[in-house]
Chain A
Amino acid sequence: MSERYDVVVIGGGVVGAAIARELSRFRLRIALLERQAEVGFGTSKTNSGIIHPGHDTSSATLKGRLVVRGNALYDRLAAELHFGFRRIGQLNVALEPADLVALERLKAQGDAKGVPGLELWDPARLRREEPNLSRELRGALHAPSAGVINPYELVFALVESAARNGVELAVDCPVTALAADGDGLAAHTPRGVFRGRFVLNCAGVASDRVAALAGAATFTITPRKGEEYMLDKRLLGLVRRLVFPVPSPKTKGTLIIPTFDGTIMVGPTAEDVLDRDDVATTARGAREVFAFVRRLCPSIDPRDAITAFAGLRAVADGNDFVIGPTSVRGFVNVAGIQSPGLTAAPAIAEHVRDLLAAEGLALVAKPDFAPEVRAPARFAHLAPEVQEALAARDPRFARVVCRCELVTEAEIDDAVDHGARTLDGLKFRTRAGMGRCQGGFCTPRAMEILARRLGVPLHAVTKRGGGSWIALPMGAEQEA
């Protein structure tokens, strides 16, 4: 297969997805290539899910400029795409007397950048607003515009919206070579050759390698690992806002994150690693995270951890975003998108749109661009009467697949309709398997539905694509 596009986007994380969706407003032929079985399964899935206010990054940096705009774009994006988003506010708290000075500096920096509503709180106010935080804290800076989202839902929705507006998605599609091709580039993949006048490098942790494929090796990515720990529902409501320490040059610190679904998460760590596949959690990481967050909130207990995961931030040398055209004609980097990359993503998309226009890409708006996608069915969140009406109309709403999170067969079907191809794809779209039993009960049912819908045998169902097989056929010749 060999097809010609105006724009080929390499990487189906939040950055590639946001750009593809932004460009789908125009009369362009666009391909979005993802190396994994589903979009959003790399760094985006393991993101902390915070929409940052932006006061903690200097406007001398590109990331510092894009973050405030990105934050402001989230209200409309959430209204159009129906992913979970709530502005719950953020506190940077002072552990030491010197931190109070740092908070004043942060406030001044944020005020100058136009971060709305920044306010310094004294210990009395802090205790009144967040009574479960440590009584040793000396004060806090409140940033009401901070929010939380489920980052994977955002990526799924962006890609669905992009696809609805004509973007062609190819998964299991790693780029193996990039070659000059007329006035653009040809991306070679196991799924064929994608020829683009512009090729956008949104390959996250692998973006320096993709740049090298194009002959534009001008930067290096050092993956910076972050481990996160999800806590038991016992702690629901423990804190109402995101709780941050005072940031250091390398990291915003270890945080308490009340996620969109209400579960409390603590983390991340920040450790530079050599291995780009190193998403292992460590005993040391757990010790560090809990030792630190207990200084912020003593009632958090390591025994409350119900699950843990790790992700890699794509940190470029220079520590800023690497966005722009290169010496290779048509090859554009959108790389080094570390924190606050999730927040900035919608603004990055606008920035790249304008940059491509400046490079000569004609942007003609489509009159029929459809900004909205359908909200996913969420049975557990509905009122009892609505549930009863649904179940009476469609028997699949009366068949429970995941009992911990009360997910029905209709929702599993809906997730497959929305592009789920793996068990993790179902899990991150419906929450089936995220609850207390961690898939012990729903795995067989989810496998059966997925196999039936994809038209494959049960043993072909995977956890997240690639070699992540779940089970083998019995009695078949065993392969080496």
Chain B
Amino acid sequence: MLGRMEGDYDVVVVGGGPAGLAAAIGARDAGATRVLVVDREDEAGGILLQCIHAGFGLHYFKEELTGPEYAERFVARALDRDIDVVGSAYVSGAGLDSDGTRRVRVMREGHGIRTVRSRAMVLAMGCRERTRGALHIPGTRPAGVLTAGLAQRFVNVMGLLPGRRVAILGSGDIGLIMARRLTLEGCEVVGVFELMPFSNGLTRNVVQCLGDFGIPLHLSTTVVEIHGQDRVDKITVAPVGADLAPDLSRCREVACDTLLLSIGLVPENELSQGLGVELDVVTQGPRVSSTLETSLPGVFACGNVLHVHDLCDYVTEEALLAGRFAGELAGGVKRPRDNIRVVPGDNVRYCVPHTLAPGREHTIYLRSERPLRPAAIRVGDLVRRKLGFVTPAEMITFRIKPDVLDRFHGEALRIDLLGEPAGPHLAGAEP
């Protein structure tokens, strides 16, 4: 990446994936003149660069793009706007000066280490995959147990195959995408094993990546032991009961040389924690106001570092907003503090943002705790709207018009999801 990094900035964006690029564009369009994006990879674009499958941009561009195509459009837009984008650069620390100036410490190959100051900062570090350690799977520790995202990098970027006979634990989207990808590369995918009674991936991915290729999805099933000395040679799987505890009397062995893990994503908030940003224990991302500002003034967050999204298009939308507010703040715009707290109610796992202010339109992102059908959303006593089928795998986006909040006089706005618990009715699913 060409990349120039000189002097101080109006807005510094940490992370050059889809969130960081859109935030930088949002900030520039809101009037910030000097905007910097710092990315740790050689090229900006984030994890999109290894997502060579199509399916990006259906909402935002109304056309179907691959990950690298989607990224390329945003890199081009950023460069067109004279935004400084530097790669091979790692933010090893961040802080606030006593006068409120934000600073980041950037380690950059060929340029040493330097501190960059800014009026506003946007956190856009994305997320990482949960690992075997988070699950405590007993057994040996052979080669061949890896996250689905690392397998994706092997195949799509490095020209390597993670193995020949592959089992997948967890039905997250990356795992589903990799089931198809590895099948197309000639590997045998012996099955996808999901602890929950429903898939954690998008329905379209269950259908297109498993169903269309005859790959079995075993719901309410988990891996209880990993075998193999140097390399995985088999796994033991067992069905789980309603309490999610495995029934070892019904376990069986599955021969494979590779176990991919697609068991969830965790926002990457070590830098935020170092700064002292307050985190939400459910999302594991920062608590943010309606302007996507964290508990630290002038520090904003968006994308998967804030909460894990399932569609890149929604990341873009959220990040443009975070960037806009960061740019406005850098330009001296002051807004009154939010005065309405958002409270996740029945069947709601979380809502972002955490607070609202009257007089503006808001977009609320939320996730359900369980599949519901038919479903409806209820916002306080103000709005009730039908949603059809909802599942934890698919984020719900809900817009609240300014006039709605004008009719609200409390300080805590409760959001409920209503409906009957729904069973898994997904193509390819086997009990």
Residues of B within 8 A of A468 (CB): 142-143, 230-231
Contact A391 B133 (CB under 8 A): no
Residues of B within 8 A of A280 (CB): 138-140, 225, 227
A472's contact among B128, B142, B149, B161, by CB below 8 Å, is which? Answer: B161
Task: Choose the segment among A193-201, A357-365, A438-446 that binds chain B (4+ C-beta atoms closer than 8 Å).
Answer: A438-446
The verdict on A249 contacting chain B, using a C-beta distance below 8 Å, is: no
Nearest CB in chain B: distance from A11 CB, A? 19
What is the bound-complex CA distance between A387 and B93, given in angstroms? 13
B143's contact among A279, A388, A392, A470, by CB below 8 Å, is which? Answer: A470
Residues of A within 8 A of B160 (CB): 458-459, 471-474
Contact A444 B143 (CB under 8 A): no
A398's contact among B110, B185, B224, B227, by CB below 8 Å, is which? Answer: B110
Contact B138 A440 (CB under 8 A): no
The verdict on A105 contacting chain B, using a C-beta distance below 8 Å, is: no
The verdict on B343 contacting chain A, using a C-beta distance below 8 Å, is: no
From known contacts A444-B150, A473-B159, infer whether A437 and B143 are also in contact, taking CB-CB under 8 Å.
Answer: no
What is the bound-complex CA distance between A135 and B39, given in angstroms? 49
Contact B132 A395 (CB under 8 A): no
The verdict on B117 contacting chain A, using a C-beta distance below 8 Å, is: no
Residues of A within 8 A of B112 (CB): 388, 391-392, 395, 398
The verdict on A299 contacting chain B, using a C-beta distance below 8 Å, is: no
Contact A306 B229 (CB under 8 A): no
Residue with the highest number of chain A CB atoms closer than 10 Å, among B90, B149, B155: B90
Contact A281 B138 (CB under 8 A): yes
Contact A463 B129 (CB under 8 A): no
What is the bound-complex CA distance between A391 and B106, given in angstroms? 11
Nearest CB in chain A: distance from B343 CB, A? 26
The verdict on A107 contacting chain B, using a C-beta distance below 8 Å, is: no
The verdict on A73 contacting chain B, using a C-beta distance below 8 Å, is: no
Chain A, interface size category, equals: 35 or more
What is the bound-complex CA distance between A469 and B113, given in angstroms? 36
What is the bound-complex CA distance between A387 and B112, given in angstroms? 9
From known contacts A281-B138, A440-B129, A474-B161, infer whether A398 and B230 are also in contact, taking CB-CB under 8 Å.
Answer: no
What is the bound-complex CA distance between A465 and B133, given in angstroms? 22
Contact A472 B153 (CB under 8 A): no
The verdict on A121 contacting chain B, using a C-beta distance below 8 Å, is: no
CB interface residues, A 422-480, toward B, < 8 Å: 436-441, 443-444, 458-459, 462-474, 478
From known contacts A286-B138, A468-B143, infer whether A436 and B128 are also in contact, taking CB-CB under 8 Å.
Answer: yes
Contact B143 A474 (CB under 8 A): no
The 9 A-B pairs of least Cβ separation, nearest first, read: A467-B230, A471-B160, A463-B143, A468-B230, A438-B131, A468-B143, A307-B133, A392-B112, A400-B90
Q: A277-B229, A469-B231 are in contact. List 14 more A-B contacts (CB 8 A).
A: A282-B138, A307-B133, A384-B105, A395-B110, A398-B113, A399-B88, A403-B40, A437-B128, A438-B133, A440-B131, A458-B160, A466-B230, A471-B158, A478-B186
What is the interface of chain A, defined by CB distance below 8 A to chain B? 277, 279-283, 285-286, 302, 305-309, 384, 387-388, 391-392, 395, 398-400, 403-404, 406, 408, 436-441, 443-444, 458-459, 462-474, 478
> 20 A-B contacts, Cβ less than 8 Å apart?
A279-B140, A286-B138, A305-B133, A305-B136, A395-B109, A398-B109, A398-B112, A438-B132, A440-B128, A440-B149, A462-B143, A463-B230, A467-B229, A467-B230, A468-B230, A469-B231, A472-B161, A474-B160, A478-B164, A478-B186
